[in-house]
Amino acid sequence: MSRMMMSYSFQRVVVAGVLALVLAAGVVGAAEAPGVLNGIDVLARDGFKVLDGAKVGLITNHTGLDVNGKSTIELINAAPNVKLVTLFSPEHGLQGIKDEHVGDSTDPLSGKKVYSLYGQTRRPTAEMLEGIDTLVFDIQDIGCRFYTYIATLGYAMEEAAKHDLRIVVLDRPNPITGTRVFGPPCDEDGKFTAYHPFPLVHGMTVGELARMFNEERKINAKLTVVPMEGWKRGMWLDETNQTWVNPSPNMRSLTQATLYPAIGLIEGCSISVGRGTDTPFEVLGAPWVDGRKLAARLNSLGLEGVRFVAYRFTPNASKYKDKECGGVQVILTDRNAFDPLETGLSIARELKLLFGDDFDIEKVNNLLFHKTTVDAVKASTGPTSYTRLWKDSVSRFLETRKKYLMYE
């Protein structure tokens, strides 16, 4: 058996096995499981009626699982009234383990061709879409604009409309809730890390985003969203009774997903955000950083929901590989009070004030895409609040998004 097959099979066995052990132990009663149902659970329960007679191209990865750990690939491939034709994988590949460009492959379990949407192209081409009348999207997002799975969704919707195909989105929870919205809408859009001009933390599910993309961007795709059941907007993922599955190699916990909009914001700069360590997005630093100075300055700001501890680490991959870095460990103390934009921008400001040109602050805009905010951070000489810079635009976004929300 190939290493890829073993990885894919092992992950599915582990997810299903953990749930089985919990049920056997009586920790979760049969009446209480499964908690929130994903779109794939609703689709399967209802006999795949939405896809009746469809010839499907499935855009998914290892996060495409039902609440019992069975893959969407397996479920759709086994459906008697659906024909699974082709698979498409996003960034990190079908198994979600690659931090590099991904080539086309074959799924070892279904035998289907897997076209990469993070290789030669980021859009399904006419050749890839041959024999398909319906695209299905089932991937777990994490609720941050520069996480690329939602751009893959947008591009797929555009190509579906262009080729007169249906597109069906199987909805999943926003793991960091559907109520938390932070940051400015981006100046640019259509990009892989800034597909649509909405706040960095948008508080929407992929199904809701698909509805918004379709109308606001005038894509006009033949869109169907299969909604979740049981999900409430204020739920964090650990309140859904669902299993955490790393959506990408360096996104290993709900805490990291919560911190990601803040710490990931500075990843384009000359700083390690912990890739190549056991705790990506929970640490940050560089060989030129004095962690004690940085921790003291950041803690003095009184940022809500977070504290900082001086920390030394040596990444074994990515930026500053095999070089000892000074920096800080980021401790989330109150996730509901935590403001990722004020935190991320304050970290950028203090790195610039403490360490000067060693920190290339201009590159914050590589992911923020809001020059007014970056200019304000560069001009800051001490503690300040930045939320006022995007208050009005966020209010307009919140009003616009109301008509696309599907859950209370």
Q: Cβ(203)–Cβ(143) under 8 Å?
A: yes
The proportion of the chain whose per-residue pLDDT surpasses 70, expressed as a percent, equals 92
Nearest to 18 by CA among 6, 7, 33: 33
pLDDT, position 99:
87
Domain termination residue (choose one: 206, 239, 272)? 239
Same domain, 102 and 30: yes
pLDDT, position 32:
53
Q: What is the edge-to-edge ordering of all strands in the sheet holding 325-332?
A: 283-286, 325-332, 306-313
pLDDT, position 33:
56
Same domain, 161 and 307: no
pLDDT, position 14:
40
Average pLDDT along the chain: 93
Confidence of residue 28 (pLDDT cuts 50, 70, 90): very low
Same domain, 213 and 264: no
Residue 406 within a domain: no
Same domain, 31 and 179: yes
Residue 386 within a domain: no
Residue 91 within a domain: yes
Same domain, 219 and 71: yes
pLDDT, position 5:
38
Residue 194 within a domain: yes
Across 4-33, b (16+ Cβ under 10 Å) vs e yields beebbeebbeebbeebeeeeeeeeeeeeee
Same domain, 78 and 225: yes
Give yes or no for residue 230 having a pLDDT over 60.
yes
pTM of the model: 0.91
Nearest to 151 by CA among 190, 203, 99: 190
Which CATH number characterizes residue 114's domain?
A: 3.40.50.12170
Give yes or no for residue 350 having a pLDDT over 80.
yes
Residues 6+ apart with CB under 8 A from 133: 54, 55, 165, 166
Total domains present in the chain = 2
pLDDT, position 21:
36
Give yes or no for residue 30 having a pLDDT over 60.
no
16-26, pLDDT tens digit by residue? 443 333 333 33
Cα→Cα distances 370→200, 201, 377, Å: 10, 14, 11
Question: Do you know the residue count of the chain?
Answer: 408
Same domain, 229 and 298: no
Residue 396 within a domain: no
Range of the domain at 61: 3-239
CA dihedral 170, 251, 94, 45 (to 10 degrees): -30
Same domain, 168 and 274: no
Domain termination residue (choose one: 181, 212, 239)? 239
Backbone angles phi, psi at 299, to 5 degrees: -65, -30
Give yes or no for residue 341 having a pLDDT over 80.
yes
Same domain, 297 and 217: no
Name the percent of the chain in helix, strand, coil, to the closest 5.
35, 15, 50
Same domain, 86 and 214: yes
Which CATH number characterizes residue 319's domain?
A: 3.90.1150.140
Residue 92 within a domain: yes
Residue 188 within a domain: yes
Same domain, 56 and 200: yes
Give yes or no for residue 323 having a pLDDT over 60.
yes
- DSSP letter for each residue of 16-44: HHHHHHHHHHTSS-TTTTT-SBPHHHHHH
33-60, pLDDT tens digit by residue? 559 999 999 999 999 999 999 999 999 9
Q: What would the 3-class secondary structure string for 261-304 be?
A: HHHHHHCCCCCECCCCCCCCCCEEEECCCCHHHHHHHHHHCCCC
Same domain, 185 and 274: no
Residue 393 within a domain: no
Q: What is the edge-to-edge ordering of all strands in the sheet holding 55-60?
A: 105-106, 113-116, 83-89, 55-60, 134-138, 166-170, 222-226
